[in-house]
Amino acid sequence: MPFNRPETEKLPRHALVIGDERLERGSGGTVAHVYPGTGTITREIVMADANDVDRAVSAARAAFPAWKSMPGDKRRNLFFKLAELFEAKSAEFAPSLIAENGSVAMTAPYMGYDAAQKFRYCGGWCDKLHGRTIPMWSAPGHDYVTYEPYGVVGVIVPWNGPLFAATMVLAPALAAGNCIVLKSPDLAPYSVMKLVEIMLEAGFPPGVVNLVTGGADAGEAMVAHPGIDKIEFIGSGATAKRVLTNAAQTLKPVGLELGGKSAVIVFDDADLVLAAKKGITGAVSSNGQGCVNGTRLLVHRPVYDRYLATLSAIAAQIKVGDPFDPATNLGPVISENALSRIMGMVNRGVNDGGRVIAGGERLAGDHAEGFFLPVTILADVSNDCEIARNEVFGPVLVATPFDDEDEAIALANASEFGLGAYIHTQNLRRAHYMAAHIQAGTINVNGSGEAMQPNCPFGGFKQSGHGRLGGVEGLQEFMQAKNVWMSLAPPEPAS
């Protein structure tokens, strides 16, 4: 059955939004966007260059004084209006989400609801951000702390979940009083374009949110720009190192949310069916291209074979195919190059002793022109080999047995990453013990990512980044503390 193709007339057109200008052309040429379901071009995407970035920064700086001083209740009401629009228009995000990176239709409408939740949560903080007073003893005085926005925040989001990532940053940064220059990824530009379109419809003042679509050159221009006060980068560790190097030119702070190789730890007392259903989401969520996905399965040896058999049976029921089909569970990976890289890692994993128990072959037939791989599971994988240590960023899970709690902890922590971990057990003592000893920013017990909601902090340990998004901790990332001391000493007597 042939694939549906994206209806290009439903895709947003304004790749650049600078101040009150909505632009369909930039100064950085064009790049062909490829729909990963068929390998065909959806549209030529206009690209920003350093001049466009400079104009966007100027627009943000001009808008900042009024936005910073807007009363909290007015900003709150604007956020709530935007949240209502996101909910009302949630279905309108689907064409952009599916076309840009192959997100499946069954989950696409949720992204509008998720965006609404983030802005509603952060909007509720707009009229509640306050400082504190500090008692003084060194001298009679009154000391107080205020929290102020940085100014202009440059935001760089990845292609695997640009709408999710952009709203995770924009909601707290704007609530704190910052203005934004947002770079959408050229591989997946459409949902962020739609996001900014709806924000303008909601009434956000010109210049508060500026959009540039571009590649590495535009990103480097943003990071090095002296008019940007803070950078928030979500992406790979390799790119993050370049971001930090460029940011050092102006000593600007950088928030990083990077990759992961999150462990799924299944004990012999776990609900194995539940643990298998939750475990399969590591291969299916975002078509396996999620930074926090649980992709390393560490399984207690007494239930190792039984768990893998249950997991394989569930994998066989996952429908892979046309992302526009509402029944599809798993869509394509982002590109031909990505699929070739993934297959190379799978083949090397087999050469290193791994055993394929599900998937492992690119889809053929009607799927041959797209970039499809079914859920692929490798058993008996050594924790030291490449596919166990590095991000695959595709629908691939690897399984390794363990004998006791301490070995599971050692295996889970033997990674340069520390973004998430998933523990399956019915033993409360064991759950707390594991959570206390695993080096990761988010621990899920008998779950698969339910803590990824706006009022919970999210971020990584080690090379998974630093800083937090979500919760009050996420708001604090975009504010600076200012301390003020005022003398209360009586005036000196006249001489």
Residues that are catalytic? 257, 291
Nearest to 188 by CA among 161, 221, 168: 161
- The C-alpha atoms of residue 342 and residue 331 are separated, in whole angstroms, by 15
Rounded CA separation 330/418 (Å): 26
Structure tokens, 409: 């902890």
